[in-house]
């Protein structure tokens, strides 16, 4: 049985989510505080995590980032207001999806199922190496020239998707659809900002990238230059 962990102190939302998902065969756990949610998560990681933003102050991202970093690679879906600014903010921090309240029950069920499918498809204990970089997606660890580099979970997801599609031109819209989980997302700048951060963290000369290439008018291409562009996979 798939398990959903709900972190939020709104009893109306708690009851609504239980009535929505339990008839669909999901087990729903409720945590009224962030600390309680983190304890439940560590005890029994769920299939998906739903976070009600009423519990958080959006001007204080530390609590959200603590949840988000612990939950990777478990999907994290934020339930919040209709503000585009708020949506962009939390997707940029690494949320897998953002659903505005009041939400459609059928839409939320569909988004949860899609997030779980993406998560199952992306989980793997594989370790990859290219150039001076070594990355373990299962352990969420990366080193560059032997020095540990900190990435957000969203940056790990983007990097993994680009590695899996190395050598192919990827549009911004494809990245938004397949990594962020949004169709017709209004701000493709979200992708550009993430690529820029990856360049600054992983490229020797971010202004002259050799891995994260811009294809003007289309999107990006990820190139693995180790051993004449051959992709090295370390078991």
Give the confidence band of 45 by pLDDT, cuts at 50, 70, 90: confident
Q: What is the pTM of this model?
A: 0.56
- Determine which of 55-64, 71-80, 122-131 has the lowest per-residue pLDDT on average: 55-64
The CATH label, of 3.40.50.2300, 3.40.710.10, 3.30.450.30, 3.40.50.170, for the domain at 3-122 is 3.40.50.2300
**For residue 135, is pLDDT > 60?**
yes
**For residue 159, is pLDDT > 60?**
yes
Residue 102: its pLDDT value, please?
87
Helices in the chain by DSSP H: which ranges? Answer: 11-21, 34-43, 61-71, 84-93, 105-122, 153-164, 172-175, 189-202, 226-229
**For residue 228, is pLDDT > 50?**
no
Residue 234: its pLDDT value, please?
37
CATH 1.10.10.10 range(s) for the chain read: 127-234
CATH 3.40.50.2300 range(s) for the chain read: 3-122
**For residue 69, is pLDDT > 80?**
no
Classify domain 127-234 at the CATH topology level.
Arc Repressor Mutant, subunit A (1.10.10)
Q: How many Cα atoms occupy the beta-carbon half-sphere of 15 within 13 Å?
A: 3
Residue 93: its pLDDT value, please?
77
**For residue 141, is pLDDT > 60?**
yes
182 vs 80, more confident: 80
172 vs 177, more confident: 172
What radius of gyration do the chain's Cα atoms show?
18
Q: How many Cα atoms occupy the beta-carbon half-sphere of 142 within 13 Å?
A: 22
**For residue 124, is pLDDT > 60?**
no
């Amino acid at each position: 049985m798939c398990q959903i962990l709900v972190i939020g102190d709104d009893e109306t939302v708690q009851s609504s989510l239980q009535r929505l998902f339990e008839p669909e065969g999901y087990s729903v756990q409720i945590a009224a505080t962030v600390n309680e949610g983190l304890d439940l998560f560590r005890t029994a990681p769920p299939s998906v995590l739903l976070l009600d933003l009423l519990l958080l102050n959006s001007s204080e991202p530390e609590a959200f980032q603590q949840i988000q970093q612990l939950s990777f690679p478990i999907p994290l879906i934020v339930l919040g207001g209709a503000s585009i600014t708020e949506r962009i903010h939390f997707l940029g921090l690494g949320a897998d999806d953002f659903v505005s309240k009041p939400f459609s029950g059928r839409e939320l069920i569909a988004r949860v199922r899609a997030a779980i499918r993406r998560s199952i498809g992306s989980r793997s204990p594989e370790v990859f190496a290219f150039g001076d970089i070594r990355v373990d997606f299962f352990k969420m660890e990366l080193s560059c020239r032997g020095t540990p580099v900190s990435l957000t979970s969203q940056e790990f997801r983007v990097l993994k998707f680009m590695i899996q599609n190395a050598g192919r031109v990827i549009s911004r819209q494809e990245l938004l659809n397949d990594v962020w989980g949004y169709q017709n997302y209004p701000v493709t700048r979200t992708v550009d900002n993430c690529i820029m951060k990856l360049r600054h963290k992983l490229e020797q000369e971010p202004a002259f990238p050799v891995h994260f290439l811009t294809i003007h008018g289309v999107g990006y291409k990820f190139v693995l230059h180790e051993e004449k562009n051959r992709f090295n996979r370390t078991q």
